[in-house]
Amino acid sequence: MDNFVIFFVFYTMMLVVFGGMQYVVFQLYKRWFTYSFETERAQKTCLRIGYGVLFVGNLLFWPRFVIAYTYLHDSAFLQKFMVYPGGLYFAIIFLLFVFSTLIYAGRGIQHVMNYFKFAFGKTKPGNSSEQAQMAAGQSPELQPEPVPVPVSENVTSPEPTGISRRSFIRTAGAAAFGAPLLLTTGLSAATHRNYVISKNTLYFPNLPTGLEGLRLVHISDIHSGIFMNKRQIQEIYEIINSLNPNLVAITGDLVDTHITEIPNIRDTISMLKTDYGVFGCPGNHDHYASADALMDALADKPVSMLQNAHRELRINGEKLTMIGIDDAGEVGRDFADIEKAVRGSDPESFRILLSHRPHMFDDARAKDISLTLAGHTHGGQIGFNIAGLELYPIDWFHPYSRGHYTKEDRHLYVNVGVGLVGAPIRLVRPEITELTFTSNPALAGSVVMNA
């Protein structure tokens, strides 16, 4: 019942918000074509095109929520011809809504400025020199009447040069409405399945000798569902197996929104090959679906799902403790209990925490945990790194948003995920992380390569 209420509220808000976004965009579109085209026929054609785009776009977008609740999400045909186009339509409307908001905000600011200028007398009618003379008690000088110049009937007006204002607005508007289409389709095709392998060698000054060179592969946010079908999950696991990992860690959001997405995780997890096991923890989307159902489905599979629990391993004579906590969400959705998770674990062992949310790194350091692995952020899915210049909006909202962090010889790695949420677009390429442990500081470093 709790999940039903959550989804009812979410979809109601989605209907209102997305409907409002489309309304704002459509109103700007109408203003554009009304000004850009003089003939009624052209304006009616533009109006019909607009209604057609709205109809087709919504026809593609809204069924995704029905597909997510059925096993149809595993259909490659529906994914390619309905789910992806519907997601791209959402992204296009979002970008156009941002653009429209900026336009309307600019016009509003201009109106406010004009009001204050008029209120303070800066735009009152009348010649400024005449006003100055009258203020000094002088009569304004009379200006001579302009002498009309006869115009010959044979003289023709020069042809206007350059582009007219109407033509400019027509061209600029068409470019503004078309750019999001090119941007979203380009990004979708370029990066959302273009995996990178981030290889990091982490320095631990007190690393037990038997753990020297240990290799752990870390992934996060698979999001089995409408943007991640069974074959795509298998492709990710094949890449992981090619790295010959000693351990594998999956830090939450194995599924996206519904229990129908669990079977693809259950049926593929046995593919992963390691020396010492596969470990995971739940994420917030696993709870949207049903964390209990996910845990039950994986109970007899070769994966240890750690839900506020730990498991001790013996590797080359050394103790290593894998600790996993439930999702540390907001008030009312915080299921994490790190105290319970570490209770009974050997404090002298090398301890690794799996947490879906990166902010638990500070709690892990307080518990003297050497390494924390997390996900959740997706790196924002949208970000830029051009010639060393980084612009990742997610960095403004999360202190630990992506990649490797170190504090007092304690490490955090935030994997940006392999899956998608919201729309099938990401400039931040999906990531598979390989972590190698060392006690030699000279070996520490990182390299990123194509999968």
Query: Tell me: the pLDDT tens digits for 60-91?
Result: 999 888 887 777 877 888 888 898 899 889 98
Residues 287 and 388 in one domain: yes
- Is 18 part of a structural domain of the chain? yes
Residues 210 and 98 in one domain: no
C-alpha 343/C-alpha 399 separation (Å) is 28
Residues 216 and 351 in one domain: yes
Per-residue pLDDT, 143: 55
The list of the chain residues with pLDDT below 70 reads: 1-4, 6, 121-162, 187-190
Per-residue pLDDT, 334: 92
Residues 225 and 329 in one domain: yes
Q: What are phi and psi of 295, to 5 degrees?
A: -60, -40
Which domain-ending residue is among 106, 123, 147? Answer: 106
- Is 238 part of a structural domain of the chain? yes
Per-residue pLDDT, 75: 84
- Is 122 part of a structural domain of the chain? no
C-alpha 42/C-alpha 28 separation (Å) is 17
Per-residue pLDDT, 169: 85
Per-residue pLDDT, 128: 52
Per-residue pLDDT, 263: 96
**Tally of domains within the chain:** 2
- Is 188 part of a structural domain of the chain? no
Per-residue pLDDT, 150: 58
- Is 151 part of a structural domain of the chain? no
Q: Can you read off the two tokens belonging to residue 169?
A: 């607005």
- Is 265 part of a structural domain of the chain? yes
Residues 81 and 206 in one domain: no
C-alpha 317/C-alpha 444 separation (Å) is 24
Per-residue pLDDT, 139: 52
Per-residue pLDDT, 389: 81
Give Cα 79 distance to the centre of its chain.
19
Strands lying side by side in the sheet with 318-324: 309-315, 318-324, 350-354, 371-374, 410-414, 403-407
Which domain-ending residue is among 71, 106, 141? Answer: 106
CATH number, domain of 232, equals: 3.60.21.10
Sequence-ordered list of residues with C-beta below 8 angstroms from that of 379, at least 6 positions apart, any chain: 392, 394, 401, 402, 416, 417, 426, 428, 431
Domain of 346 in residue numbering reads as 195-450
C-alpha 408/C-alpha 410 separation (Å) is 5
| Token pair 């391993």 in the structure block, residue | 313
- Is 133 part of a structural domain of the chain? no
C-alpha 451/C-alpha 217 separation (Å) is 13
Q: What are phi and psi of 376, to 5 degrees?
A: 75, -45
Start-to-end CA span in the chain (Å): 42
Spatial contact of 266 and 257, defined as CB atoms under 8 Å apart: no
Residues 359 and 231 in one domain: yes
Q: Can you say whether residue 308 is alpha, beta or left, with left for phi > 0 and alpha for psi between -120 and 50 degrees?
A: left
Which domain-ending residue is among 83, 106, 129? Answer: 106
C-alpha 117/C-alpha 345 separation (Å) is 71
- Is 27 part of a structural domain of the chain? yes
pLDDT, averaged across the chain: 88
Per-residue pLDDT, 273: 98
Per-residue pLDDT, 275: 97
